[in-house]
Structure 1
Amino acid sequence: MATPLQNTARLSNKDAFRSGMRAGIPVAVGYIPIAIAFGLLAKSFDMPNVITLAMSLFIFAGASQFIGIQLIMAGAMYWEIVLTTFILNLRHFLMSASLSQRLETTSNRFLAAVAFGVTDETFSVASIRNEATRGHFVLGLNSIAFLAWNVGTWIGVFLAFGLPMELQASMGIALYAMFIGLLVPSLTRKPVLVVVAVAAVAQSVLHWGVSPFFPLSSGLRIILATFIAAGAGAMLYREEESP
């Protein structure tokens, strides 16, 4: 009987790409309201539309875009904006490095294209899918997320400003609902995710009691949370070696 990895290896690049896009539909659905909220925030600050749209097109980093908009409108220096967003996105080095070890491709250009589209959510999906060893699967996964984020930004900039304030404010909840939707179906198949999730939550709770005494940047907090959660999973569950 063929193993999941063998079945994955039989997929053509086109099929792997389509499979990645299908797997990314929940992420895309969750991204649209968050991107709409970003567009609304930029619009409320009278940010030029071309800059708002360019941020989603060329930066594609939700937290950095939200913070970047606020720093720009607060009159922060350019180097402060760059440094803040760099620290906030340090976790992408870890996620990209992890994915690069799983992908079968060695093309630097292809890896760069995949790395550009890596987000917290697409990384979560790629980490629990056997097909993620195929570069085109991850590319499809990232592509649909990228498309949804940009579509949501356009909606937020041009169409959603007239929505009731209650509806505008509720869009941020979609991010948490999306994380729950991605995590829960995998808990029974991969018990390690329970440990990692609990470790991440414990670290976040600990943060609220520690940060008043030891201030940390948002980026550093995320890095620490990643190390703690990953370390807990690595110590408690070791991947079995193939015969």
Structure 2
Amino acid sequence: MKKDFVEGAKAATPIILGYIPVGIAYGMLAKATGLTFFKALSFSLFVYTGAGQMAAVTMLAQNAAYVTIVFTVFILNLRHIIMSTCIMEKMEKTSLPIRLLLSFWITDEVFAVSMTDKKINKLTPAFLAGLSLFCYLFWNVGSALGILFSSVLPSVVSKSLGVSLYAMFIGLLVPNMKKSIRLLYVVVLSMIVNWGLNQFLSSSLSILISTLGCALIGMCFISKEDLQ
């Protein structure tokens, strides 16, 4: 168990490198909207969703109703239902309380590593705990740094830091796509469908529909060998 936890912590390294700068960007934005240190950091501690946090603090600055904020964050994170279901399916023998606890820390990046890392022979609760807890810890470290040093760093820095998360996520996907042309097709198709839907629907709903739809399409022609 200890070995799996350590391996999970090591696997979190590329995610951490992306989370710290993006967390700083969030912290700077939260501070700029007038939130206190405790309130701004509470979003990272108890909500823990980059896009959702950014949207929430922006809406708070615009004096949006709390119900509207909660509903918006809920819609933005509907995709986590899909990701949690996929990951927890691999841990059927794990007790329900443990699975419920671990599901809180599942993010896009944790999901990507858990489902694509070839070094993982079997996804265990200890590995997922090491992976997700270290990501969670450093997301909060980045948030705290952004809140504390928001007055020192110019706004252009926060905007540039936000790009690092996308670069990190691409870095996680590319090595796996290079090994399977079929997986590459699914990713490209998801991008195209999401872009098209985004012209008419909200970004969160577009992501949800394109993810589900293209995943179902991928199931029809992706073999087990492509995923191993």
Partner of 2:62: 74
8 Å Cα contact 1:131/1:137 also seen in 2: no
Partner of 1:229: 214
Partner of 2:82: 94
8 Å Cα contact 1:16/1:131 also seen in 2: no
Q: Offset at 1:168?
A: 2.6
* CA gap 1:52/1:131 in 2 versus in 1, 3 angstroms: farther
The Cα offsets for residues 76-104 of structure 1, whole Å up to 9 and x where unpaired, read as 11111111111111111111111111125
Q: Offset at 1:105?
A: 3.7
Q: Offset at 1:52?
A: 0.6
8 Å Cα contact 2:7/2:130 also seen in 1: yes
Taking only the aligned residue pairs, the percentage that are identical comes to 36
Residue 37 of structure 2 corresponds to residue 49 of structure 1: yes
* CA gap 1:204/1:157 in 2 versus in 1, 3 angstroms: same
8 Å Cα contact 1:126/1:132 also seen in 2: no
Q: Offset at 1:146?
A: 0.2
- AA partner of residue 193 (structure 1): L
Distance 1:33 1:131 in 2: 31
Partner of 2:205: 220
- AA partner of residue 37 (structure 2): N
8 Å Cα contact 1:104/1:134 also seen in 2: no
The Cα offsets for residues 197-225 of structure 1, whole Å up to 9 and x where unpaired, read as 112211123134x41xxxx2332112112
Over aligned residue pairs, what C-alpha RMSD do you find? 1.6
- AA partner of residue 52 (structure 2): S
Distance 2:123 2:180 in 1: 18
The Cα offsets for residues 150-190 of structure 1, whole Å up to 9 and x where unpaired, read as 00001000024312333232101101110111111222334
**Which residue of 29, 33, 44 corresponds with 2:17?**
29
Partner of 1:121: 109
Distance 1:57 1:234 in 2: 36
Q: Offset at 1:131?
A: 4.0
Partner of 1:4: none
Where structure 1 has 5 or more consecutive residues not aligned to the other structure, the ranges are: 1-12
Distance 1:132 1:38 in 2: 34
TM-score w.r.t. length of structure 1 = 0.86
8 Å Cα contact 1:38/1:156 also seen in 2: yes
**Which residue of 141, 147, 154 corresponds with 1:157?**
147
- AA partner of residue 82 (structure 2): L
* CA gap 1:72/1:167 in 2 versus in 1, 3 angstroms: closer
Distance 2:29 2:159 in 1: 10
Distance 1:160 1:190 in 2: 43
Partner of 1:40: 28
Which of the two has higher C-alpha Rg? 1
* CA gap 1:190/1:139 in 2 versus in 1, 3 angstroms: farther
The Cα offsets for residues 42-71 of structure 1, whole Å up to 9 and x where unpaired, read as 111111211111110111111111111111
Residue 167 of structure 2 corresponds to residue 202 of structure 1: no
TM-score w.r.t. length of structure 2 = 0.91
8 Å Cα contact 2:28/2:149 also seen in 1: no
